Amino acid sequence: MKDNIRNTVALLQQRFRENGDFPMFSHTMQLISKQTSSGSDATITDLTNTILNDYALSNKILKLINSVFYSQFQLGEKISTISRAVFILGFEQIRNIALSMKLFDHLLNQKASPDVKDNILMSFMSGIIARNMAGKVDISDTEDVFICAMFYNLGKLLAVFYLPEEAKKIKYISMKKGINEEIVAQKILGISYTRLGISIAKGWQFPDRIVNSMIKLPTAKVETPDTVDMQFRVLTSFSNELSSMVNNMEGSPDRQREELNSLIQRFDNCFIIDEEELIELVNSSVREMDEYSNLYKIDLRHSTFVHKMSRVSKGEQIDDIAEAETVMPASGSDLDLLCNQGIDITAAQGISELDEKPENILTVGIQDVTNSLLGNYSINDILRMILEIMYRGLNSTRALICIRNTQAPVMEGRFGFGADIDFIIKIFRFKIENSRDIFNIALRKESEVYVKDVKLPHIKPHIPKWYLESIRAETLLILPLIVNNTPLGIIYADNYKAGCLNVEPQQLTLLKTLRNQAVMAVKQKML
């Protein structure tokens, strides 16, 4: 038995490796989980840097937190930096957003079969349902319950994607013989879907609550939960069982009501919900799914599962799968489709593709910093925001801030973003003196220094030896922080390759504005 389990996990891991971008995906998942765990000493800067290293993930998180789902955090203003998002929403919320987006974006970006996509949508819908139900069992951590419900069927989801032939066989035998898929998976794979998911989740260092919520409840009537973890398991199971029930439904509205009421009765020791409330729950969750689809760029038109959820919410008859697929239009926008289904649309507000241009990132960032300067802020919060804006607005390999040592005339790396940043910060150190190196020239002249290529004959003599030997970036930008004629620090950005840190005149003006905001923040705190 143990050999069968090891063989299945090994086969799944082999498929992971065969999928080219999976190792990086897995590494990011593990790092985010580790940095946001309860015992972690990771800082806002650490978590921000992990997310910023994944450009697509960064942009999608910013779009989501500027959507209607997180309007209570926006205070009428866009959130333009990951560091500010982490500060406002907290580690756990950002973890949940990042993990869900990372997994589903990874799977949806592949050439997935309709079965894979429907399983993804079912998991996502289960998360929405659980979050909408959280108040019925006094769970305030709605985002936590969302992520737990969404990863409930992780084992099946990965099997359907990476072991499609085995998953098809399991599904066929389960439907033909009326046997639970968990039992069939145990026979075919040597491990149940649940145990497979738990094994992978532990390998990714997911929080215990997510892992524990994967454990299936007994099929008998569910007892009243007596712990918080049990409350999470109850909602996680209920939401996924509801999604699965709808996906497998066939027949008349009366038949549907019987099945839904059987689910209500099974959980009535845990919370009170009647048939009408359950239908409204399904309806509101379908509307919310549409809003998410705009952010995730998910095409819902050909999803049998979403079609069935929509028909259940309207009390219409669900026919067999073949007929359900023919009802879905082959063309037309998601908006037209969902309006025809009687679903209200609430357009998600977000950061458009135009906002991702360097000038727009810098401009929006300046406004974000301005708003922060008007509130209660710390110097590190402002400097972190400014640094991230520059890092994202330029084609940077790294961006960091050096601060003057209070005990000696030395500039030392304090924090930053980008490749190998922890190592770079430790060695980024230079003496403030009357020398001709580019760093002291910038401080002495109180002026920015932009070097396109450190190897040019007239430039190389001004590049310190420690920089050439350890940093090894061929193009760089230095912005000095001077307060009352005293050098307090520098903002630095670089790129490995010469000429790849493009700083146009308009961009330089915006960068200088950001630098001036940093100086202003320091001056205000000195008053």
Q: 204 is written with which tokens?
A: 């990714």
pLDDT at 250: 75
Q: Encode pLDDT of 375-393 as tens digits.
A: 777 888 889 999 999 999 9
pLDDT at 93: 81
Mark whether 491 and 368 lie in a shared domain.
yes
Return the percentage of the chain with pLDDT > 90, whole number.
39
Q: Within a domain: residue 496?
A: yes
Cβ–Cβ under 8 Å, residues 514 and 409: no
Q: Within a domain: residue 172?
A: no
Domain boundary among 314, 340, 366: 340
Mark whether 400 and 304 lie in a shared domain.
no
| Domains identified in the chain, total number | 2
Q: Encode pLDDT of 509-520 as tens digits.
A: 999 999 999 999
Distances from the Cα of 450 to the Cα of 280, 409, 417, 419, angstroms:
59, 24, 19, 20
- What are the b/e assignments for 114-152, b being 16+ CB within 10 Å? eebbbbbbbbbbbbbbbbbbbebbebebebbbbbbbbbb
**Res 59 pLDDT > 90:** no
Mark whether 372 and 406 lie in a shared domain.
yes
Closest by CA to 33, choosing from 75, 84, 103, 96, is 96
Mark whether 217 and 319 lie in a shared domain.
yes
The model's confidence at residue 71, banded by pLDDT at 50, 70 and 90, is: low
Q: Within a domain: residue 56?
A: no
Mark whether 306 and 444 lie in a shared domain.
no
Mark whether 280 and 303 lie in a shared domain.
yes
Specify the amino acid at residue 130: A
Q: What is the CATH number of the domain that holds 400?
A: 3.30.450.40
Considering only 324-338, 352-366, 420-434, which range has the smallest mean pLDDT?
A: 324-338
More confident residue, 57 or 509: 509
More confident residue, 130 or 305: 130
Q: Within a domain: residue 3?
A: no
Q: Within a domain: residue 11?
A: no
pLDDT at 325: 36
Q: Encode pLDDT of 162-213 as tens digits.
A: 888 999 999 999 988 989 999 999 999 889 999 999 988 888 888 889 999 9
Domain boundary among 315, 340, 365: 340
Q: Encode pLDDT of 74-100 as tens digits.
A: 655 678 889 888 888 888 888 888 887
Q: Encode pLDDT of 230-278 as tens digits.
A: 999 999 999 999 999 988 887 777 888 888 999 999 999 999 999 889 9
Please state, in angstroms and rounded to a whole number, the distance separating the CA atoms of residues 298 and 266: 33
Q: Within a domain: residue 21?
A: no
**Res 332 pLDDT > 60:** no
Please state, in angstroms and rounded to a whole number, the distance separating the CA atoms of residues 302 and 311: 14
Mark whether 255 and 362 lie in a shared domain.
no
Q: 41 is written with which tokens?
A: 């000493």
Q: Within a domain: residue 1?
A: no
Q: Within a domain: residue 455?
A: yes
Mark whether 383 and 315 lie in a shared domain.
no
Closest by CA to 361, choosing from 384, 385, 390, 387, is 390
Domain boundary among 306, 340, 374: 340
The range of the structural domain enclosing residue 375 comes to: 355-526
Q: Encode pLDDT of 434-484 as tens digits.
A: 999 999 999 999 999 999 999 999 999 999 999 999 998 999 999 999 998
Mark whether 375 and 429 lie in a shared domain.
yes
418 φ, ψ (degrees, to nearest 5): 120, -165
Mark whether 317 and 405 lie in a shared domain.
no
Mark whether 280 and 418 lie in a shared domain.
no
3-state secondary structure of 399: strand
pTM of the entire predicted model: 0.70
Mark whether 309 and 376 lie in a shared domain.
no
